[in-house]
């Protein structure tokens, strides 16, 4: 904390940790007017640049190194929150976690280089080595798992491109209470939409997905994106997943089918930015499928009534 100006209730252990303007360590527990106070810095150059920040804790080489007036931050691990200047309420555990965060607030990172690409995004959570958004400004994302990557704000991602199974012991529940639904309309198309869909089988190009997500890239000490070695286990997992025969639809074809019938179908997920990969929410296909069955049933019943009428006419003709 070399630049800490009016120190109060601070503690520092380590070379240049919380040193004052003369390069001298502060007195632990002294009580001048509090602008930078209640900070703890442990490790070489930990919180060295602190000026007026408070309630911060740093443990590790250059952790919270450039903190200026940020407060309530916790950085544990070498280079954890090292460039954080004004951000507050951030928690970083792991070497390089939230390393390039400068002004983002209330982020939580656990793992080697977790959320390391974040700069000004806030309210992000990343658990796992290299987990987190693949851009500097995304907010309200949650990434769980090794290399788990969010390509847009307000997104949750579990696992990386090599994962082949996600599940538990019960179905996922979506809130569907009538009390929180407005503008309810019974305008879902059935057969007109469903009959336009093309069921297919395919193989995923997992390496292409990984490249799109930047899973094999990391930031160097200057913030430049550089490739990192691919672990043999991940390479094998990607190869195995690429060999799996998948069943489903093509997202762009589903979107086109919906547009043809004037259907704003929420089953097409285009949450990402620009050229991001388009996804499908297969559970939402149930709704137009139910409508299609209802339409078919109405047709069947109408035909059945027509058949009964024709049978009655035949019986009348036979009696003549």
The pairing of strands 132-133 and 200-202 is unpaired
The answer to whether 144 and 157 are in contact (CB under 8 A) is yes
96 versus 320: which is more confidently predicted? Answer: 96
The CA distance from 115 to 110, in Å, is 8
- Coil, strand, or helix at residue 93? strand
pLDDT in tens, 249-274: 999 999 999 999 999 999 999 877 77
Residue 193: C-alpha distances to residues 6, 184, 253 (Å): 69, 20, 11
pLDDT in tens, 260-317: 999 999 999 987 777 789 999 999 999 999 999 999 999 999 999 999 999 999 999 9
Instruction: For residue 125, give every residue at least 6 positions away whose Cβ sits within 8 Å of its Cβ, in sequence order, or none.
Output: 107, 108, 109, 141, 142, 143
The CA distance from 222 to 237, in Å, is 31
pLDDT in tens, 50-61: 889 999 999 999
pTM for the structure as a whole:
0.86
**Confidence (pLDDT) at 134:** 86
Task: Could you list the beta-strand ranges (E) of 185-319.
Answer: 200-202, 217-219, 225-227, 246-248, 268-269, 279-280
pLDDT in tens, 176-216: 999 999 999 999 999 999 999 999 999 999 999 999 999 99
190 versus 221: which is more confidently predicted? Answer: 190
pLDDT in tens, 159-182: 999 999 999 999 999 999 999 999
The CA distance from 209 to 204, in Å, is 8
């Amino acid at each position: 904390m070399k630049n800490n100006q009016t120190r109060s209730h601070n503690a520092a252990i380590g070379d240049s940790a919380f040193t004052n303007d003369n390069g001298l360590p502060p007195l632990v527990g002294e009580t001048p007017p509090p602008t930078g106070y209640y900070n703890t810095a442990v490790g070489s150059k930990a919180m060295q640049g602190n000026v007026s920040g408070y309630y911060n804790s740093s443990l590790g080489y250059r952790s919270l190194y450039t903190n200026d007036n940020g407060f309530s931050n916790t950085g544990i691990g070498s280079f954890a929150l090292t460039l954080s200047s004004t951000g507050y309420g951030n928690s970083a555990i792991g070497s390089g976690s939230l390393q390039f965060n400068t002004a983002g607030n209330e982020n939580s990172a656990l793992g080697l280089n977790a959320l390391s690409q974040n700069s000004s995004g806030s309210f992000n959570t990343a658990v796992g080595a290299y987990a987190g958004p693949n851009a500097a400004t995304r907010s309200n994302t949650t990434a769980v798992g090794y290399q788990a990557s969010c390509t847009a704000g307000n997104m949750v991602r579990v696992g990386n491109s090599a994962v082949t199974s996600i599940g538990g012991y019960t179905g996922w529940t979506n809130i569907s209470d009538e009390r929180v639904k407005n503008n309810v309309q019974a305008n879902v198309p059935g057969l007109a939409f469903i009959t336009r869909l093309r069921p297919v089988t395919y193989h995923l190009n997992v390496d292409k997905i990984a490249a799109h997500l930047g899973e094999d890239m990391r930031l160097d000490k200057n913030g430049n994106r550089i490739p990192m070695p691919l672990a043999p286990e991940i390479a094998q997992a990607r190869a195995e997943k690429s060999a799996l025969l998948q069943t489903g639809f093509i997202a762009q074809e589903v979107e086109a089918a919906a547009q043809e019938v004037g259907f704003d179908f929420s089953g097409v997920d285009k949450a990402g930015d620009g050229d991001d990969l388009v996804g499908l929410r297969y559970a939402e296909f149930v709704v137009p499928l139910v409508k299609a069955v209802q339409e078919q049933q109405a047709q069947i019943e109408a035909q059945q009534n027509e058949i009964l009428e024709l049978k009655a006419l035949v019986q009348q003709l036979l009696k003549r």
